[in-house]
Each structure stands twice: as structure tokens, then as C-alpha cells.
Chains A and B, each alone.
Chain A
Amino acid sequence: MTGAAKWRHWLLYAGVAAVAAYCLAPFYWMLVSSLRPASDLFDTSLVPSRVSFANYRAVLGPSQGFPRALLNSLTVAGVTTVLALLLATFTAYAMARLEFRFKRLILTLIIATSMFPVVSIVVPLLKLFTGIGWINTYQAMIVPSMSFALPLAVWNLTAFFRQMPEELEHAAMVDGCTRGQAFRKVVIPLAAPGIFTTAIITFIAAWNEFLIALSMTNKPAMQTAPVAISKFTGATTYEAPFGSQMAAGVLVTVPLVVMVLLFQRRIVAGLTAGAAK
């Protein structure tokens, strides 16, 4: 290796380290801060001098109602994901495989709705739901969430179905399957990884939703986790309870991070299939 090549080699690894540090440092800080006892909260050492799980105990204790908020989040994000996937699988299959009029227009419209500013539907729906007594209900959060979850799922799945070889279905149909049977017996099993990835991406989007959940609830018992954490109360009203907020943040994020790490390759494929095609 020549001197210049060696330099470039090291520079590259410095770059890789910089990218990793950029991405992980704030998350690491959340983790470290959550493990500090209250007296060390403002300590800025990189490793906690004393490790304490007091913040986690406080979060999971009865005072903040956090376990209930987690359950709410799980319900809202879970139902949204299942509904969106159910509808999107059929639509995406049609988009990828069938020829019909206005296909491009319809797909453009569906994708366009995913860019829709959520607040534009939250404002009228807030008024509507107030009128029909839906405030503080799950459906008041699930219905508006469909506005972004469904286009996201359709888009991702369309990309997946397009990548699948069409010959397999044709072979099945040549062997006497109807299109419906080919879909059920050939396409769905083969597309399972794609459907699964789309489910993860949709779930994360629904789980991370904040504006809808904030607007549609005012009872603490119905708040989703992100809203509940943002409303944690501290010992004094002047200082936000950062310790317990960081602990709750870790609890909300770690399942996602674990999921992302486990299915990293598939998620990257899903995200880029949607955007870079």
C-alpha cells in the first residue's frame, strides 16, 4: 500500500466512525442520562459514575400512568398497521400486476396523500370527533392515522410486488389456478417478507405519531406513549423531569431499535424500494 492509499484508508475509517458517532451519540446520551441517579442528573461524564434504575422504577410506577400509555400506543399502532396492511396488500397487487385505466393517476393520488400535512385533516376531524363524542377513544386516533399509514403501506408493497418475478404466477395460472388462487397460494407466501417489512415500517410510523394523539386525547388514561412522556410531571413544575423522560424514551425506542437491528437488511430494502424504487 502506498502512503497516499494508506491515508485514504484511514480517512475512510475515520469517516465511518464519524457517521456512526453522529447517529448514535444522542441516543447514547439518552441511555446514559436515564441511568443516572437524580443527584447526578446534570453530570456530563460519558459513563455514569453510579448506575441507578430509579428513573425506570419511577416511569413504570403508578404515578405517571406510563404502562397504560404503552398499551394505548400498542393498540393504536397495532390496529392501524393491521388495517392498513389488509387493504394495501390487495391494492398494491393490483398496482403492480394488473393493467387498468387511471392506474398511474390512482397511484399518484395515493402517494400524494402520504405527503399530505396531517394537521390539515386533524383540524376538521377534531371538530367532527368532538361533535360525535369520539375524543379520548382509540378510533379517533386510528382513523386519522390511516391517512398516512395506508399510502405508506400501498407504496412499499407495490414496490415489493413489482420486484417479484411474474412468471411464477403465470406458471400457476397455466397449471389451472385462477388469478385469485395464484394470489393466495403463490403471491402471498412469496411476498411474506415484503409484507412483514412493510408492517414494521408502517408500525414504526404509527407508533411514532404525535400530532393526532395529542389533539384527539385529553384524558391521561387514553394518551399514547409519546404524548404521555411529553406530559410527565416532575417534582417541581419549573423543571421538566428529564431523568424519567429519558428512561421512558429509552423504553419506547429500544423495541424499535431492536426490531430495526434484527430486520435491518429488509427494512433498508423496504425503505429504499419505496423511495429509490
Chain B
Amino acid sequence: MADTRTPTGTAPRPSGGAAGRRTGRPLAPVGRRAEAARATAGSGRMAALLVSPTLLVLAIVVLYPTIMALTESLYGPKGLDPRTGFIRSTEPFVGLKNYADIFGEAGGRFWNAFWNTTFFTGVTVALETVIGMAMALIMHRALKGRALVRAAILVPWAVPTAISGLLWRWIFNSNGIANGLLGRQILWTTEGFHAKVAVIVAEVWKTAPFIGLLVLAGLQVIGKEVYEAARLDGAGPLRQFWHITLPLVKPALLVAVLFRCMDALRMFDLPYLLIGAQKNSVETLSMLAQDEASNVRFGPASAYAVLLFLYVFLIALAFVRLLGTDLVGDGGAGGRRGGRRGIVLSRRAEVTA
């Protein structure tokens, strides 16, 4: 089933020639049925009308700030003017100095934040995937009580991250329940490796159920007859898992993991509230950029923000290119679900266009 996928790279693209000849007109597929022709007539102009407000807003709230961040990252902090002794009113242009500084002596804090971000992302996403997968398998098997568990599983998702940060700060308090259960006296919220552990535990608690939910949805579309056939062929539960469940649930799982990665890479609320700002052990790139910005050092802050953006972008690109994660949902994994005939059809129309 998985190999019927078309790689994302081969997505149909209107050729330049066609675009030139028919500017302003939709590449409406020639309708095979009168009904289809009617449905797509004039759809190009209509689509432009319907889509452009969203694109405009996104251009204002995402594209424009990104460009601002790029230019801002070329300026230094205001600082004291040596001649007057006052704080300068304009920021000096410093070129790529903010980026070059990362490799200098001031770069220590950046690299620390970079490794923290990477470490948190790797560890939490791995744990979440395993725990979420286990949860999904349990829920899938359980017939009674599934509704209850599915409701319970949404609770961590609904708790605001900021609140869960405070809640776990309370749980990890030196006199809190975590130490009470462990029978130890660990100062979780102070600097050190235990602070990382606290953040990971809290993050995994909040997000593993979410992965479980998405994987469960993937499990539910696998037909029972596949397992029956495997059982008849003598496959044990473990082989069924490796050779049926995992490959078939892979597309859903990959999307879930990609989204979790993107979310973990920008982690801010949890370490900020659970441990605190400017703590080396848990400072992430988001925290570093926010801290610099709130101290009116917009230049370095923007440089860090741009680098984080590039990092996130590269990881997402790697997912899509290497693992073939199908984000948009109208391209790959043809016929994975019953109600997708329409999409396959529209896709065929795209190819012919």
C-alpha cells in the first residue's frame, strides 16, 4: 500500500508555457462529465478571491516579521555611545557580526541553547513516540472503557502548557510529591541534569497522549482481515506488529512525529516556567531569543530567531524529503482510507491539467 505513493517531489506543477499562454485563467481540467466541468468553471478567479485574504494575513503576520527579523539581525544593540555617555538612539549596523559572534566567545550561550533544544527534541519525541504508540495499541485493543480513556487522553492536551509548567514545578518542588514518591531529596528545579529530566517528564506527559490519539486513528483504518491473514500464515503478535501495524501506521505516525519535532524545537513555556529563565541547563533557542529581545538586544535576538527558523526548516525539509512525510494529504498514500476517492479524482485532474 505504501509503495503506491508518489514522491512529493513529483507533485504536478503547471508548466511555464501553459502559464504564459493562459495567464489569469484557471488551469481547469477538461471535465469528463458535464457536472465536473460546471463545478470547475471559473474556479480560478473564485479560488483567488477565497484564498487571498488568508495569504494576505499570513504575509502580514509571518512573512513581514520574518523579513524584519532578517534585516534586524544585521544590527547591533544600542549600547552606550562612548562620546556622550548616553544610550544611543539608533542601532548601529554591524553586518553579519551577530551571526559571526556565535562562533566567538559569546557563542557559548547560543551553542548551549542549541544543544539543549536538540537534546530535548530528540529525547522527548523518541519517548513520546514509544509511549504514545503503546497507548494507542492499548486503546485499540480495549473495547470497553475506550471512551473513558479517550476522554482522559485529551486532558493533558487541553491543559495549557504554561499551567502544566507550573503544575510540574509544584510536583517537582523539593517538598513535593515527586520527591515524596521517590523518597529522595532532589532539588529538581535547580541547575543540573535533573532539571532537564524534569522538563522531559513534563513535556512527555503532555504530548505522548496526543501521539497516541493520532496513531489510534491510523490503527483504526487497518482492516481486521489483514491480521487474520497474517495469523493464518502463522505470524505471532510481534511479527504482526513489525510487518503489519508499523508499516501501515507509518504515514500517520510520521506526520505526528514531524509535528511534535517542530513543536519541541520551539519549546519555550515549559522550561521557562518549570525551571526559569536564563538557566543554562534548560535554556532553549526560543528562550534565548526571547530573553535577548526582552532585554532590548533585538539584533542578537533576531539572529537567534532566524537561526532557529532555519533549523526548524531544515528538519522539516529532511522529514519531507527523506521520509516522504505527506503533509498536505492530497498527494501520497493513495487510497489509505475509504473516503478519499474524491481526492484521488481531483489529483488525476491536476495531473491532466
Contact = CB atoms under 8 A, between A and B. Distances in A.
B259 A119 contact: no
Interface in A145-180: 146-147, 150-151, 154, 159, 162-163, 166, 169-170, 173-174, 179
A143 B61 contact: yes
Interface stretch (B79-87, B99-107, B158-166, B223-231): B158-166
Contacts of A22: 135, 205, 209
Interface stretch (B122-130, B173-181, B192-200): B173-181
Contacts of B318: none
B155 interface: yes
B42 to A, nearest CB: 8
Nearest to B270: A210
B154 A264 contact: yes
Interface string A53-71: 0000000000000000000
A257 B159 CA distance: 8
B26 interface: yes
Q: What is the interface of chain A mostly: helix, strand, loop, or mixed?
A: helix
B296 to A, nearest CB: 9
B58 A252 contact: no
Contacts of B60: 143
Contacts of A90: 50-51, 53-54
A211 B286 contact: yes
A257 B155 contact: yes
Interface in B221-273: 251-252, 255-256, 259, 262-263, 265-266, 268-269, 272-273
Interface in A213-259: 214-215, 226-227, 229-230, 240, 242, 245-246, 249, 252-253, 256-257, 259
B214 A271 contact: yes
A100 B269 contact: no
A162 B218 CA distance: 18
A123 B138 contact: no
Interface string B24-40: 00111100000100111
Which 8 pairs show the lowest CB-CB distances between chains A and B?
A272-B217, A226-B162, A124-B68, A208-B160, A115-B262, A100-B47, A117-B266, A94-B50
Interface of B: 11-12, 14, 19, 26-29, 35, 38-40, 43-44, 46-48, 50-51, 53-55, 57-58, 60-62, 65-66, 68-69, 72, 135, 138-139, 141-142, 145, 147-171, 173, 175-177, 180, 205, 209-210, 212-214, 216-218, 251-252, 255-256, 259, 262-263, 265-266, 268-269, 272-273, 285-286, 289-290, 292-294, 298, 301-302, 305-306, 308-309, 312, 316, 327-331, 336-337, 339-340, 342-343, 346, 349-350, 353
